[in-house]
Copies of this chain bind each other. A is one copy, B any other.
């Protein structure tokens, strides 16, 4: 009732760092459980390759030139909602984790993971499980909860970041300066910031804003 050599798990690697991809291919390629069927260094290419190869599991980086990893993930899940994708990235920002999971990621590991743990994670993902380290889970629950901004608030924060006044923000968004101010108040409260400068800082720290 047990095959000594089951079919390997077919993998698609997506990362814009060639050396990193080489590392993944090397580390995983040595394990007979895995087979790297394709690699891509941007979202567009990844989509095409995914469609052609239909890998069992996709390893996806978030920060890439062009279409980012989250968008790529959404597009893949749009084609096949059962696609299994493991996010493998350097960012441990709450927003990135949250967006990835919301977009349908089956797991999220940071790049400082050890090779053996990565392999184990892929097996778990392929078996239908979820992967999210205790550390990341803790980050998500403790540091967050009520303090995630609405899309409108994120929009306002983006303008604050550019140095616009409440009045200007109001005109830019077609709303009253009063309303912009109200959003600002909510942002300050949610981000636990004492003024707009601190709010922008918190935005970068949490990953809401990106350099």
Mark A residues whose CB is within 8 Å of B.
Answer: 16-24, 26-27, 41, 63, 65, 90, 93, 111-115, 118, 160-163, 165, 193-201, 204-205, 207, 209, 211
Contacts and interface: CB of A to CB of B under 8 A. Distances in A.
Given A112-B16, A205-B211, A197 B22 contact: no
Contact of A19 (B23, B161, B204): B23
A88 to B, nearest CB: 8
A201 to B, nearest CB: 4
A22 B16 CA distance: 16
Number of copies: 2
B201 A90 contact: no
Nearest to A41: B112
Nearest to A165: B195
A184 to B, nearest CB: 10
A198 B197 CA distance: 7
B163 A195 contact: yes
B163 A194 contact: yes
Given A194-B163, A197-B163, A111 B17 contact: yes
A130 to B, nearest CB: 21
Given A23-B26, A200-B204, 9 more contacts: A19-B115, A20-B20, A93-B211, A163-B197, A163-B198, A195-B197, A204-B211, A205-B211, A207-B211
A29 B118 CA distance: 22
B23 A20 contact: yes
Contacts of A199: 197
A200 B197 CA distance: 6
Nearest to A163: B198
